[in-house]
Amino acid sequence: MSDSELGRKWDRCLADAVVKIGTGFGLGLVFSLTFFKRRMWPLAFGSGMGLGMAYSNCQHDFQAPYLLHGKYVKEQEQ
């Protein structure tokens, strides 16, 4: 694995971790405010779930070095 590819993988892992932790925190906040009487545990649970999912994705990404990551390209209308 080259340095640039390794750097891209780390970038992807960090971005994924930020998004997943934020999403878990947000969902936990919504459920805490609506159903669980503003308790703290849904926020911790959601953040932890997001962190775990991000860690699992990173682990799969680093353990499968030959898997190519493509980009979605929109077809240009003629």
Give exposure, 34-50, as e/b (b: 16+ Cβ within 10 Å). Answer: eeeeeeeebbebbbebb
Site string for other proteins, 26-65 (x = CB under 8 A): xx--xx--xx--------------x--xx--xx--x----
Token pair in block for residue 56: 């699992």
Site string for other proteins, 6-25 (x = CB under 8 A): -x---xxx-xx-xxx--xx-
- C-alpha span between 37 and 8 (Å, rounded): 42
Q: For other proteins, which is the closer residue by CB, 69 or 78? A: 69
Q: For other proteins, which is the closer residue by CB, 30 or 40? A: 30
